[in-house]
Structure 1
């Protein structure tokens, strides 16, 4: 398979970072793209943009949409992806339509943008190539500290392996944050962007963020245990076959609370066994948990969105809307603590939006309220990245963030 790698470098004088946000819910891709990017650029008070981040519904003609954005913004480095909803400045754009654009000056940062294909075939290698290309694009002497913003096609799988590849290059000192692209819950086609290029089915893009001081990546989920620790004793890819030597679906079902009515149409429309309020917590060596979404399909098999390997220690976890909302202030406060932040980049799972249901807009509002004068910008993902000082760092149903 031919692999395409692209990288773009940009730098600006060290001044205070400025951010501008624009959005449109017009159904016309040219009108929507032009309106959103013009509003974003207007927020920079006449300073030149150093980076554009674009989140959009997959319902658009994406080629026309990106051409419209770049027709206004010119050659400014651009990354982004399709989503299952977006949120910014306290506003929720629900899945199905809409584009959101964040424009950033460089301020004290240096950005290096890159993209790769081949995540399905060689995820570790793709992660290594992507990290090297983004770091190189940031230019010589990119700064004493850094973070990586990582966006991937959400249906490609192998997300933890991709992250492992990035980690092999950047090491523990460089945190990684980001998310998997969505497609308005259709589970058909997810896309990432870099410049005017669109990648599907195994593409990824990244931004190397060189910084004068350490950057903090935060992740919290709000889920709580409803089972004792369990052991996955047999699995095959995304199918979990046995837990503790018993049929996995049977073990999963026996922890359902009949009084919890959180079954939503959500991600898996043909699967009546998908209850977004139940998942697995993959137990980490330090006792923390990575959330892994799961559902029972129409054939009665228990499936996850990310493989749970044999002999993985897990607990079944559950949540209610108030559990998810409770962590928003902590995530924001930890991300902005100790810095004069301009923008908070946040990534929340569409499974959280399913659980929140009619309270979906509350999460966006609470994030902005906690951030105060800091601009907030994010999207609903098919999985989130938040790796700080360990290799593991791919999550489901979690809120992650970084402040610049």
Structure 2
């Protein structure tokens, strides 16, 4: 494990964006345990979620098809700061009809079906960069640190990752930037929840 702490008297800005759009009505988590959701609106979570997405029949039972299809359809969790997303493509329980979201999803939470594509993910890259810079106020940015998700990398592919870098460079506008792909991102601008999936997090330094 490697850890680093950055301290400064100068302003720092955080930008968070994912590009996934909510679909249909919100659902209530009616039974969960840690990261596993058993029921949504008192129905088996896997089936309720897939119906909300109008998923094809093979996704209901085939792990390979489920993972492929769900990479662009994460679970949205309502927070004070907006809708955060959880990558549930890797941990379905087809026998018990539950879904797993990587981090705790509490009973009573409002959740959404979401969707997106490489274009919406790339648009979110620019939003996250600009939000981070804007949070510096009048301070001049001197660098950006970017943390993008491996889940987004899988959606973008090799060419898309190249364009992701180009979008960051565009918003950086000549200042240095560096970053890497992660397995989950931790960042918050308000509230206590800060774990994200399939999201770009940007730290702007001044």
- 1:213 paired residue number: 10
Call closer, same or farther: CA 1:339–1:257 in 2, change over 3 Å. farther
- 2:133 paired residue number: 336
- 1:256 paired residue number: 53
Call closer, same or farther: CA 1:258–1:241 in 2, change over 3 Å. closer
- Larger mean Cα displacement after TM superposition, 332-341 or 379-388: 332-341
Separation in 1 of the partners of 2:34 and 2:64?
A: 18
Residue among 268, 276, 294 paired with 2:88: 294
Contact 2:53 2:113 in 1 (8 A): no
- 1:180 paired residue number: none
Task: Name the SS for the 2:80 alignment partner.
Answer: coil
- 2:19 paired residue number: 222
Contact 1:273 1:297 in 2 (8 A): no
- 1:244 to partner: Cα distance: 0.3
- 2:66 paired residue number: 273
Does the alignment pair 1:326 with 2:120? no
TM-score by length of structure 2 reads: 0.83
Contact 2:77 2:86 in 1 (8 A): yes
- Compare relative contact order (CA 8 Å, sep 6+) and give the higher one, 1 or 2: 2
More helix by share: 2
- 2:148 paired residue number: 348
Separation in 2 of the partners of 1:360 and 1:252?
A: 29
Cα deviation digits, residues 314-362 of structure 1 (max 9, x gap): 1111111111111222222222343322220011111111111242221
Structure 2 gap segments, 5+ residues each? none
Contact 1:294 1:305 in 2 (8 A): yes
Call closer, same or farther: CA 1:206–1:227 in 2, change over 3 Å. farther
RMSD: 2.2
Task: Name the SS for the 1:227 alignment partner.
Answer: strand
- 2:180 paired residue number: 379
- 1:284 to partner: Cα distance: 1.6
Cα deviation digits, residues 166-198 of structure 1 (max 9, x gap): xxxxxxxxxxxxxxxxxxxxxxxxxx22xxxxx
Does the alignment pair 1:397 with 2:198? yes
Call closer, same or farther: CA 1:213–1:342 in 2, change over 3 Å. closer
Separation in 2 of the partners of 1:258 and 1:217?
A: 35
TM-score by length of structure 1 reads: 0.44
Structure 1 gap segments, 5+ residues each? 1-191, 194-204, 264-269
- 1:213 to partner: Cα distance: 2.6
Separation in 2 of the partners of 1:257 and 1:360?
A: 29
Cα deviation digits, residues 72-113 of structure 1 (max 9, x gap): xxxxxxxxxxxxxxxxxxxxxxxxxxxxxxxxxxxxxxxxxx
Q: How many residues align?
A: 191
Separation in 2 of the partners of 1:229 and 1:389?
A: 22
Task: Name the SS for the 2:7 alignment partner.
Answer: strand
- 1:206 to partner: Cα distance: 3.5
Residue among 145, 167, 170 paired with 1:369: 170
Call closer, same or farther: CA 1:217–1:343 in 2, change over 3 Å. same
Following superposition of structure 1 onto structure 2, how do residues 5-404 of structure 1 map, counting pairs within 5 Å? 192-193=1-2, 205-207=3-5, 209-256=6-53, 272-274=65-67, 275-285=70-80, 288-295=82-89, 296-297=92-93, 299=95, 300-337=97-134, 338-358=138-158, 359-404=160-205
Cα deviation digits, residues 101-145 of structure 1 (max 9, x gap): xxxxxxxxxxxxxxxxxxxxxxxxxxxxxxxxxxxxxxxxxxxxx
Cα deviation digits, residues 366-404 of structure 1 (max 9, x gap): 111221211111111111122223212211111111122
